[in-house]
Chain A
């Protein structure tokens, strides 16, 4: 029995290692601009081989300035949202927790709104979204105070801060020029299409560090998910460890949300899908969530790029497809894994 489970886990890890890479390569061949597969490869080879002539390729701009930044952002943002969701669900022992629960999404949305409506181009929406996403998490921790490691306290604080930022967002919308409002609505729907190397240079290192750190903490997440008393009995400083996980999750999701806009449900659904596949052991759930989140967002982005002559905002797709999928899986499994 255990042997079969181990084989299943091993297969899942092999798949997790391969799938995002395979999807990335396939996705490089997908887009509104038709590029022959041979040309994709020759352009990439020219770019990576010393002395290559990639710049001479007519496709180099499309591949390296538009398509690749977008795909890398999908990979990293998907991993960030899913790993943060898995980690938060583990430490709060609650399957409903994800970045929305800590006020991150509404904090980021409010920041972007301030930038788009009042600050013009002086402060880019990405920067403002990041600052207010972090501010939202700090506010949650401040309100929760010494009881920040308690599930109910921090979730209630998250609800309060989310509600506050939601109200502030509505207030900004009320005063917004209708055309700034349209920019804001567009931002709130989420998009990977505007990714630039400048964005990635700021975002990917933060997400990379955050996701790696959370994966390295996966053993401790198992201990923390036993409950505070049990974790303390095992010598864990519960408050410090939880703060560390919350801080890392906030940093990664805030970095991702600041560039992509609000992309819902990845952080909630992906960890559940992974648990349904391999069980609730966080040593498996956290790294596999990274791979699954990255893969799912890549596939979702491929769909929005190719399904129609126009582009569907990815936040809409993840919600419209993700929620029914989640309901079906939940009904089939008959239980919530944690």
Chain B
């Protein structure tokens, strides 16, 4: 079977794939969501060391060999020992997939959503084909599409309703922001940094000055909260107390909130919960209501098949408060 990966490379995949090494966390999560977790024979360093969610979603991961280091470089000898049928690499490094394929003589596909919903859906479809889980992939993509369509209130999608302007503080810095974050748009908001860099740079991060933030004067400020509270460099309380930001509309109206954000791209379930969370923050009156933690647990059950996963994540991140407000 031939697939085209995220880098546009044509990769020939064996008809049956039973042993998979994944160096891309998002791919690994999707493999588990497709019900093919048992095919994983090696995972990357990040998922083992720094992902708060994956150990909850897929406990057998704690026994899987780690085949990369902090820099996502492959441990070749370990990889050879694991005899993979296919290796999934990150498309963020252009040369990595080619280099691994040359050395390992194993098909290497570079796959990731690159922070785009259409990319995520395509990635799920491609992985479904490779792993022989086309049916599950189709069900999952339909489920994601349906949730994205219902997340934003109808008025905001067409431009007839107000789309709040939104500033995102990501990557542990108040002044680092992504120029594209599709959950914001899907939830009926407008990213103020959108268009600040050329489109071909995708979701790239941007460093701005505090003055620029004052110029933008967003309705809502979102802070990446996908860290345990003690590790957060930027906090909601800190932003609300910062005298330099006191004149911002979002600060004056108290619309400064945590969100999840990129965590080595996305988790397919978490990004849906996040979009719902944002829709409620942006359009408190008209977005789908209900308890978000309970809704999150339902979404995670649908994607990963286990109960209470989102509640468990919320206990780690202490996000019950910011998702139930």
Contacts and interface: CB of A to CB of B under 8 A. Distances in A.
Interface stretch (B29-37, B109-117, B241-249, B270-278): B241-249
Interface stretch (B59-67, B168-176, B303-311): B168-176
B208 A178 contact: no
A48 interface: no
A66 B244 contact: yes
B211 A179 contact: no
Contacts of A175: 70
B195 to A, nearest CB: 9
Interface stretch (A8-16, A226-234, A305-313): A305-313
Contact of B209 (A58, A116, A177, A311): A311
Contact of A32 (B211, B247, B264): B211
B231 interface: yes
A116 B208 contact: no
Interface in A159-210: 173-180, 182-183, 186, 191, 193-194, 196
A67 B207 CA distance: 17
A183 B244 contact: no
A310 B210 CA distance: 11
B209 A182 contact: no
A65 B213 CA distance: 14
B233 interface: yes
Interface string B235-259: 1000000011011000000000000
Interface residues of B, number: 33
A38 interface: no
B211 A31 contact: yes
Contacts of B46: 178
Contacts of B230: 120-121
Contact of B172 (A58, A183, A194, A312): A183
B175 A194 contact: yes
B56 interface: no
B211 A33 contact: yes
Contacts of B231: 120, 177, 180
A237 interface: no
Interface string A206-225: 00000000000000000000
A64 B215 CA distance: 16
Contact of A310 (B171, B172, B173, B206): B206
A25 interface: no
Given A62-B214, A310-B196, A305 B173 contact: no
Given A182-B171, A182-B176, A183-B171, A61 B247 contact: yes
A323 B174 CA distance: 30
Contacts of A66: 210-211, 214, 244
Contacts of B227: 177, 179
A173 to B, nearest CB: 7
Contacts of B235: 121
Contacts of B233: 116, 121, 180, 183
B50 interface: yes
Given A120-B231, A177-B50, A178-B264, A193 B172 contact: no
Nearest to A181: B70
Give the dominant DSSP class at B's interface: loop
Contacts of A179: 171-172, 224, 226-227
Nearest to B207: A311
Contacts of B173: 182-183, 186
Interface in B134-171: 171
A59 to B, nearest CB: 10
A174 B244 contact: no
B197 interface: yes
A216 B52 CA distance: 56
A322 B118 CA distance: 44
A173 B173 CA distance: 17
Contacts of A191: 207
A173 B197 CA distance: 29
Interface in A83-138: 116, 120-121
A33 B215 contact: yes
Given A120-B231, A193-B175, A196-B244, A178 B197 contact: no
B196 A309 contact: yes
B54 to A, nearest CB: 14
A121 to B, nearest CB: 7
B81 interface: no
B211 A67 contact: yes
Contact of A33 (B214, B226, B243): B214
Nearest to B248: A61
A67 B210 CA distance: 9
B301 interface: no
Contacts of B224: 179
Given A180-B231, A193-B175, A310-B197, A173 B244 contact: no
Interface string B201-235: 00000111111101100000000101100111101
B181 to A, nearest CB: 15
Interface string B169-189: 001111110000000000000
Contact of A61 (B196, B215, B226, B246): B246
Nearest to B262: A179
A120 B227 CA distance: 11
Listed from nearest, the 5 A-B pairs whose CB atoms lie closest are: A183-B172, A32-B211, A32-B212, A33-B211, A65-B244
Interface of A: 31-34, 58, 61-62, 65-67, 116, 120-121, 173-180, 182-183, 186, 191, 193-194, 196, 305, 309-313
23 contacts: A61-B214, A61-B244, A62-B214, A65-B244, A116-B172, A120-B231, A120-B232, A173-B70, A177-B231, A179-B171, A179-B172, A179-B224, A183-B172, A183-B173, A183-B233, A186-B171, A186-B173, A186-B176, A193-B175, A193-B209, A309-B196, A310-B208, A312-B207
Given A32-B212, A176-B70, A183-B233, 11 more contacts: A32-B208, A61-B243, A62-B211, A66-B210, A178-B70, A178-B264, A179-B226, A180-B172, A186-B171, A186-B173, A311-B212
